[in-house]
Amino acid sequence: MSRLPPSTTSRSRPRRLTAVEAATIAGITQNPTKWDPTRTFEDGETNYEAAEKRRDTVLGTMYEEGMITKAEFDEWEKIPVEDTLNVSKPLVSCAASDIAPFFCDYVTKVIAKDEVFNSDGLNGTDLLYKGGLDIVTTLDVDKQKIATEEPVRDRSRGRRQRLRDGDGGARPRDGRDSVDDAEPYVRSGGRG
């Protein structure tokens, strides 16, 4: 198992993980959004049931491969996934952003590496962490919040409603998409 940063996963280092915790993490990697046990939807529902199902699939595979006994499988399968979570969220850095963590990460990488911020005695990383910059970006916070919430709303509508609306859900959604309140379809902000 590769090392995972404890600030974004579990407070335990991999060597201290129980088999149940390891199975949960291994299950998440197949589809992090779908299997994330910490995910909470707009309606207040949690993702515990889906994460537990996936964890139990991993435990089943571990049993089939002879890594755990039948007694261990039976015991661990009964443990609710929420009882095994000990997740800590970072307090600083882009990972702490609820609005646009990937965009934040992109901007910080540009500043850290671009020659504009790394010439004439300047160091982009120092500027980021020691101050001295007023960072202005193209991010529209209001639209980003809508774009972040929309897949959750879309999930609650169900596939049948999307098909009735003429949107089979097959269109890719990326950072150029936005939602128009007057017309509830995702529109591409890109060229072409």
- One digit per residue, the tens of pLDDT, for the chain of length 192 reads 333 334 444 444 556 888 899 999 999 998 888 888 888 877 888 889 999 999 999 999 999 999 999 999 999 999 999 898 877 777 777 877 778 888 888 998 999 899 988 888 888 888 888 877 888 888 888 888 887 776 655 555 554 444 444 554 444 444 444 444 444 444 434 443
User: DSSP assignment, residue 92?
Assistant: S
Task: Classify residue 166 by burial, with Cβ atoms within 10 Å: 0-12, 13-18, 19+.
Answer: exposed
Contact present, 177 and 186 (Cβ < 8 Å): yes
Q: What whole-number distance in Å separates Cα of residue 44 and Cα of residue 53? A: 19
What integer pLDDT is reported at residue 149 of this predicted model?
Answer: 73
What integer pLDDT is reported at residue 60 of this predicted model?
Answer: 96
Q: What whole-number distance in Å separates Cα of residue 47 and Cα of residue 144? A: 23
Segments making up each domain of the chain, as ranges: 14-84, 94-130, 141-188
What integer pLDDT is reported at residue 153 of this predicted model?
Answer: 54
Task: Classify residue 57 by burial, with Cβ atoms within 10 Å: 0-12, 13-18, 19+.
Answer: middle
What integer pLDDT is reported at residue 55 of this predicted model?
Answer: 95
Decide yes or no: CATH 1.10.10.10 for domain 14-84.
Answer: no
What integer pLDDT is reported at residue 186 of this predicted model?
Answer: 40
Q: Which residues, 6+ apart, have CB-to-CB distance to 148 below 8 Å?
A: 99, 100
Adjacent-strand bridge partners of 46: 40
Contact present, 13 and 2 (Cβ < 8 Å): no
**Tokens, residue 32:** 């992090």
What integer pLDDT is reported at residue 136 of this predicted model?
Answer: 87
**Tokens, residue 178:** 């936005």
What integer pLDDT is reported at residue 151 of this predicted model?
Answer: 61
**Tokens, residue 18:** 């129980």
